[in-house]
């Protein structure tokens, strides 16, 4: 019996090459005589991928493939968790930043992706949950956090990750604007005037490959990083440290790990959260780590030797 694939695809992601790449992957699998069926659901709007994932008849398939950027992957993961879909998930990256795929070194060439499906390795990974929504990679707020869903799709397609920071630079005029946060874990309470904050399960966030230097995908913990109020002249030096993973020794950085976090803002201002690059709920919020929430398909390193 060959592979039985359920593919959920955002056809407009990644310069609209996703469709061609998936077709090439399917063709390669067929040429190797290892494919039984490949059923594709195309997304046309928000939450389509979640709906498709929730309705999977898992006895009919061997694996689920999410094709798109971080937002599409988030929706598929959300649907699989809500629908109690226990099939392994493969991620075919075709978005702009793709933090999670960057850390896992997932292949983007169709033949390489096909070979990963044929000779794969399975790993269990944690997910974050904020109120009633899930995130595979990152929850964020503050300066730059809304750039991912405010940047026009055409700009992201043409410029890639640079688009986020071009748009973000427009916010530097409000560098003095901070968020009076309270963060409560089971062990500690932190009060801090935050410029921005990130809660992640992955080391790579927003194209910064070593932002969460101690993150582990299946340790049952989320990594929390808060950047405190900084002067304008301190911004670029701090971001340079972040780029090379040497920012934890800065007195402007609060960093800790937890499996449960209650976050609130000590003002009347509405603080909207970014959930895997999409607009999420507003503070206050409760954030939890869901241990071993998803089984991922990753390259089998032995096959690459």
Catalytic residue among 154, 234, 278, 279: 278
pLDDT digits (tens, 9 = 90+) for 232-274: 777 777 777 777 777 877 888 899 999 999 999 998 888 999 9
Q: CA-CA distance, 162 to 66, in Å (whole number)?
A: 24
pLDDT digits (tens, 9 = 90+) for 29-40: 999 999 999 999
**Global pTM value:** 0.84
Q: Are 289 and 222 in contact (CB under 8 A)?
A: yes
Q: CA-CA distance, 68 to 11, in Å (whole number)?
A: 8
Q: Are 212 and 202 in contact (CB under 8 A)?
A: yes
> Does residue 95 or residue 140 have the better pLDDT?
140
At residue 170 the predicted structure's pLDDT band, cuts being 50, 70 and 90, is low
CA atoms within 13 A on the CB side of 284: 11
CA atoms within 13 A on the CB side of 264: 7
Q: Are 91 and 296 in contact (CB under 8 A)?
A: yes
246 is an active site residue: no
Packing angle, helices 18-31 and 110-118, rounded to 10: 50
What is the 8-class DSSP label of residue 171?
G
Q: Are 121 and 298 in contact (CB under 8 A)?
A: yes
pLDDT digits (tens, 9 = 90+) for 137-164: 889 998 755 544 455 555 444 444 444 4
Helices (H), 55-109: 70-82, 99-104
Average predicted confidence (pLDDT) for the chain: 84
What pLDDT score does 178 carry? Answer: 85
């Amino acid at each position: 019996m060959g592979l039985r694939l359920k593919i959920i695809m955002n056809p407009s992601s990644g310069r609209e090459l996703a469709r061609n790449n998936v077709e090439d992957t399917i063709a390669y699998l067929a040429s190797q005589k290892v494919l039984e069926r490949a059923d594709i659901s195309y997304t046309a709007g928000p939450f389509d991928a979640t709906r498709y994932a929730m309705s999977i008849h898992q006895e009919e398939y061997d694996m689920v493939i999410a094709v798109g950027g971080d937002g599409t992957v988030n929706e598929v993961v959300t649907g699989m968790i809500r629908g109690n879909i226990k099939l392994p998930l493969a991620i075919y990256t075709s978005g702009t930043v793709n933090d999670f795929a960057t850390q896992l070194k997932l292949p983007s060439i169709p033949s390489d992706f096909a070979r990963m499906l044929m000779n794969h390795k399975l790993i269990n990974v944690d997910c974050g949950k904020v109120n009633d929504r899930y995130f595979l990679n990152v929850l964020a707020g503050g300066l730059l956090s809304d750039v991912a869903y405010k940047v026009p799709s055409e700009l992201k397609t043409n410029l890639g990750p640079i688009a986020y920071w071009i748009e973000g630079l427009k916010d530097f005029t409000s560098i003095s604007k901070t968020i009076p946060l309270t963060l409560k874990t089971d062990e500690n309470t932190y009060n801090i005037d935050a410029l921005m904050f990130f809660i992640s399960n992955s080391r790579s966030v927003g194209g910064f490959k070593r932002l969460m230097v101690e993150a582990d995908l299946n340790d049952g913990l989320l990594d929390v990083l808060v950047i405190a109020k900084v002067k304008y002249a301190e911004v670029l030096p701090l971001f340079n440290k972040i780029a090379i993973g040497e920012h934890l020794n800065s007195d402007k950085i609060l960093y800790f790990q937890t499996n449960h976090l209650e976050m609130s803002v000590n003002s009347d201002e509405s603080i909207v959260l970014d959930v895997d690059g999409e607009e999420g709920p507003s503070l206050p919020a409760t954030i939890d780590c869901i241990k071993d929430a998803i089984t991922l398909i990753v390259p089998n390193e032995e096959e690459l030797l």
